Amino acid sequence: MRPVLFEVFGLPINSYGVSKAAAALVAGYLLAREFRRLGWDGEKAWSMVGWATVAGFAGGKLYYLAEHAASLSPHSFGPAGFTWYGGLIAGSLTVVVLARRHRIPLTPLAGIVAAPLSIAYGIGRIGCFLAGDGTYGKPSDLPWAMAFPHGTVPTLVRVHPTALYEAALALALGALLWAVRTRLAPLTVFGLYAAFSGIARFLVEEVRINREVLLGLTQPQLWSLLLVAGGIALLLTGRRTAVLAAVR
């Protein structure tokens, strides 16, 4: 855990902010590269990532505030406290709006945003771990369990470092999607992202401390199931499209 990476003229440079900036830069670079490969304007990729990042933060914070409306405090409006699904929804809607405005076809776009999105999420979760933002899991005696005495929610008990779990899974998935992005249909690539991202978050939730809301599942797990279902639907659609194209 290292909330402050270093200081510049006495000004603390926080790991949380640096990780989010790094995530946006990496996503922008990768997406711009893919835009140019498809003959599109790379500058529009940077614009899309920028606006999606802003919308993602806003959506993540608003959903968090709505979810915790009964227990809000001044801390709730600080730099910690975001929901990944609120950010995903807001960011995705922003990308769709911008794509339509710039007349970018959504199907090929879906195939090239998957890897940058997953990689950016992984980088961002590393920042959450370094900042000790309170998203760690249940107590554990595993060798890699750790305490967060100076975290947003301090704990001297060794717990699952769930932010690192998510970071590792997201980065691995991003690397896989980047490797297959030109070999599979766009909807198949995005379907893989949605399905495996949902599965990863569902499993990580098993060792996190969140309130069960329905059928013994937490709210993030319910969103994860929707994401998995959407991913499977896209995979089936991509498969059907490929079969029809082969028949023709």
User: How do residues 158-210 score in pLDDT, each as one tens digit?
Assistant: 999 999 999 999 999 999 999 999 999 999 999 999 999 999 999 999 999 88
> Do β-strands 155-159 and 146-148 pair in parallel, antiparallel, or remain unpaired?
antiparallel
CA distance 6 to 87: 28
Instruction: Write down the pLDDT at residue 201.
Output: 94
Q: Which two tokens stand for residue 62?
A: 């608003």
Closest CA to 125 of 19, 18, 14: 19
Instruction: Assess whether pLDDT exceeds 80 at residue 88.
Output: yes
Locate 235 and state its tokens. 């995979």
Beta carbons within 8 Å of 143's beta carbon, 6+ residues apart: none
Residue 194 and residue 223 in contact, taking contact as beta carbons nearer than 8 Å: no
Q: How confident is the model at residue 78 (pLDDT cuts 50, 70, 90)?
A: low
Q: Give the whole-angstrom CA distance, residue 88 versus residue 208.
A: 20
Q: State how far the Cα of 143 lies from the Cα of 175, in Å rounded to an integer.
A: 27
Cβ atoms within 10 A of the Cβ of 172, count? 15
Q: How far is CA 65 from the centre of its chain?
A: 19
Q: Whole-model pTM?
A: 0.89
